[in-house]
Structure 1
Amino acid sequence: MASSRSVDMDPDVARRLFHEGATLVLLGVPQGTEFGIDCKCWKVGPRFRGVKMIPPGLHFLYYCSVNPPSCGGEVGPKTGLFLSLKPRDILLANWNPKEEDLDFSASQNEEEVSRIRANLQDLDPYLGPYPYEVMRKWVSLTNRLNEEVANNLQPLSGRVCAFSDVIPETDFRHTKDRAEQPRNDTACQTMREGLDRLPKMKLREGTQLRFSVIPEKTYPPGATPAQITQCSLDLTYALETLLDKNYQQKPLDLLGELQFAFVCFVIGNVYEGFEHWKRLLSLLCRAEAAMQRHKELYLGLIAVLYHQLGEIPPDFFVDIVSQNNFLTSTLQDFFQLATGPSVDGALRKRAEKFKAHLTKKFSWDFDADLDECAPVVVDLPEGFTVD
């Protein structure tokens, strides 16, 4: 973070952010640490003391410790956290070398924060400006995600970690516990035998992402065979169950969870975020009756997907083993339902425009039979290029 100005920042915006923007003061972060906020990442230099001129609102802060070149220069797993900042906020953190993590407890010390605020002008040359050039992208990826939803989904530890923090289910403090473990003094004959000898592990308490639980059963208790079949084709019951449990008052906050999962994966490198994003998307795209009941939810879904799909290469969703494009098949179901005669006209029109946009951008054909080999590519006229 060597530059003292953000790229192409309007002077009026710069002045406003200078006076109203929040400041992150991060002390002791080792040189070479990979550090990022929202959609921008840097390597920490020797003068780095934090970030200034941060627009108020929700942000994602993340970092990776890096071994010095003499020790191989390996990059550690990414750690991140969502922060909600108010105008002129000052958030103070110190680097904990033992944990290789930021300790924000100093922010609770009002006297220390006041001291930092009084000396902010002296600290200013060591603060990198918020990367204003990526603010539009960040807002487009999180416009449905608010502080309440982020706090409810973030682990109790307050950290979103790229690798799960696991510990043995048994701590082996007693001889009896160790005696019950499979012996390792003979060679394993199979992979399964080797895996069985490993200690059983569990996630460390408080480190789990707290995503909404998607119902395993898509039909109500006591459903008839006909109802089970119907609820397996139309996932509205499962979607309504999730909404009633988690977002009864604010159904559109489910889109915030979809964005939270996407950010955790794309920026935080958390694979669990991708898996949950896929499950939520599949649920939303295959709930036919819900499209008639929740018009605003589905208009919002199209807008969310429009920005998300601009951040990922089109072939990312193709399973290299089966050549099955999860996204193409899921959206094919969505467009078939969302363009039906019983759907609200505004939603149907928006879905048709979105379908045409994706067909042009990615050359996906949502009207073809995708069972053979997905994704299907549209045959374009000679000389026609795709944006």
Structure 2
Amino acid sequence: MASSSSGSVDMDPDVALRLFEEGATLVLLGVPQGTELGIDCKSWQVGPRFRGVKMIPPGLHFLHYCSSGYGGQIGPKTGLFLSLKPREIILANWDAKEEDLDFSASKNEEELSRVRASLRELDPYLGPYPYEVMRKWVSLTDRISEEMAKNLQPLSGRVCAFSDVIPELQFTHTKDRAEQPRNDTACQSMKEGLDRLPKMKQREGTELRFSVIPKKTYPPGATPAEITKCSMDLSYALETVLEKNHMQEALNVLGELQFAFVCFLFGNVYEGFEHWKCLLALLCRSEESILKRKDLYLGLIAVLYHQLGEIPPDFFVDIVSQNNFLTSTLQDFFQFAIGPGVDATLRKRAEKFKAHLTKKFRWDFDSDLDDCEPVVVELPEGVTVD
């Protein structure tokens, strides 16, 4: 397979030998030439000799691919998380009709035994795992357990860039369709046009199963003063999410943050990016939680350090308003984390992280976003104001 990324790194002979002996193998048969296929942080365009990937370090991996069967164009990306054991062989065949990989052969012991016996012949057609990205991959996923990946990914087992949607109302009979409003008259407005379109929903089993972030950030029966407080300090909402979804271990929310980021970065899933933003805003704007959950926020800084190294600094800027979501969110975090009453270790780590981001991205975390001071305007020569 031809790599779409440059800069490969020579592997240490001892590491190569260990991966050859202990590494897992993905045997992927029938993948059409030209398909874009990748594992973890790297992707390739499949050539005519491709039969899979070998020497894969045991652990969690993300296999992703785009079919080339769309009139010569690359189709939407599909991905799946795989937890691989030492020397494990996973076998999949390309399903031309579905334009997807079919892993049912991996459950057939007879077929697996046949593939295992012919590995020596297959070896020249198997591309080695891109070991140079291993360190980066681990740094982006070190808090995602096998169980967590299984619980967060869709029941279908596929993470898809485009949602699989169906109409909310299924009209199985001609009579049902005939009773719907007719659409043969011109729309008087954009709203009317949108209202005429059938209401759609995501096909059951294809949705990512993220934690639900409450729309109301305050407890039931809250007073106006409590509502105001919980709108400025989101600790109540955060603790609700932790209690409902991560009761055994609060730090697991960092694994969910990583999962959402990986789905977006390598799976092209916009829903992953939106959830990452919402979860990050919840964590960064929870002052009381920052005061009492030192380990969670030390972990958050480490997770963000690696994530922010993977995306261009202007990515978060809203083109319309020129506001940077990330600088405003992290500005609140640094205000809380460097404030009084915060654990000394966390405060020091937050200060170092703030300095790192300021130097690397030239983001200004100290300007007042609500600055109302008068602005000095230079008037053209000869123009005066009475």
- The TM-score range, normalised by the shorter chain, is over 0.9
The alignment status of 1:59 with 2:53, answered yes or no, reads no
Counterpart residue type for residue 40 of structure 1:
K
Q: Which residue of 2 aligns with 1:83?
A: 82
Q: Give the Cα separation in 1 of the matches to 2:229 and 2:267.
A: 38
Residues 84-143 of structure 1 show CA distances to partners (whole Å, capped at 9, x for unaligned) of 001111000111111101111111111111111111111101100000111111111111
Q: Which residue of 1 aligns with 2:250?
A: 251
Q: Secondary structure at the match of 1:259?
A: helix
Contact 1:2–1:128 (CA under 8 A) maintained in structure 2? no
Q: Give the Cα separation in 1 of the matches to 2:344 and 2:248.
A: 25
Contact 1:34–1:63 (CA under 8 A) maintained in structure 2? yes
> TM-score of the superposition, structure 1-length normalised?
0.92
Percent identical among aligned pairs is 82
Q: Give the Cα separation in 1 of the matches to 2:268 and 2:160.
A: 8
Q: Cα distance, 1:67 vs. partner?
A: 3.0
Q: Cα distance, 1:176 vs. partner?
A: 2.8
Q: How does 1:366-385 map to 2 (within 5 A)?
A: 366-371=365-370
Contact 2:37–2:45 (CA under 8 A) maintained in structure 1? yes
Q: Give the Cα separation in 1 of the matches to 2:371 and 2:43.
A: 41
Q: Give the Cα separation in 1 of the matches to 2:76 and 2:371.
A: 39
Q: 1:37 aligns with which of 36, 39, 50?
A: 39
The alignment status of 1:28 with 2:30, answered yes or no, reads yes
Q: Which residue of 2 aligns with 1:236?
A: 235
Q: Which residue of 1 aligns with 2:132?
A: 133
Q: Give the Cα separation in 1 of the matches to 2:263 and 2:207.
A: 13
Cα–Cα, structure 1 residues 198 and 290, in superposed 2: closer, same or farther, change >3 Å?
same
Q: Cα distance, 1:172 vs. partner?
A: 1.8
Residues 281-318 of structure 1 show CA distances to partners (whole Å, capped at 9, x for unaligned) of 00000111111221111000000000100111111101
Counterpart residue type for residue 58 of structure 2:
P
Q: Give the Cα separation in 2 of the matches to 1:224 and 1:200.
A: 37
Q: How does 1:346-357 map to 2 (within 5 A)?
A: 346-357=345-356
Q: Give the Cα separation in 2 of the matches to 1:372 and 1:260.
A: 36
Q: Secondary structure at the match of 1:194?
A: helix
Counterpart residue type for residue 272 of structure 1:
E
Q: Which residue of 1 aligns with 2:213?
A: 214
Choose 184-193 or 301-310, whichever is displaced more.
184-193
Instruction: List structure 1 runs of 4+ shifted beyond 6 angstroms.
Output: none
Q: Cα distance, 1:370 vs. partner?
A: 2.5
Q: Which residue of 1 aligns with 2:99?
A: 100
Q: Which residue of 2 aligns with 1:47?
A: 49
Q: Cα distance, 1:182 vs. partner?
A: 2.9
Q: Cα distance, 1:2 vs. partner?
A: 4.7
Q: Secondary structure at the match of 1:317?
A: coil
Q: How does 1:185-196 map to 2 (within 5 A)?
A: 185-196=184-195
Contact 2:167–2:198 (CA under 8 A) maintained in structure 1? yes
Q: Cα distance, 1:372 vs. partner?
A: 6.5
Contact 1:265–1:274 (CA under 8 A) maintained in structure 2? yes
> TM-score of the superposition, structure 2-length normalised?
0.93
Q: Give the Cα separation in 1 of the matches to 2:310 and 2:236.
A: 31
What count of residue pairs does the alignment treat as equivalent?
A: 368
Counterpart residue type for residue 99 of structure 1:
E
Choose 166-175 or 113-122, whichever is displaced more.
166-175
Counterpart residue type for residue 110 of structure 1:
E
Q: Which residue of 2 aligns with 1:358?
A: 357
Cα–Cα, structure 1 residues 54 and 369, in superposed 2: closer, same or farther, change >3 Å?
same
Contact 2:2–2:45 (CA under 8 A) maintained in structure 1? no
Q: Secondary structure at the match of 1:316?
A: coil
Q: Give the Cα separation in 2 of the matches to 1:26 and 1:195.
A: 43
Contact 1:51–1:128 (CA under 8 A) maintained in structure 2? yes
Q: Cα distance, 1:39 vs. partner?
A: 0.5
Q: Secondary structure at the match of 1:31?
A: coil
The alignment status of 1:12 with 2:11, answered yes or no, reads no
Counterpart residue type for residue 16 of structure 2:
A
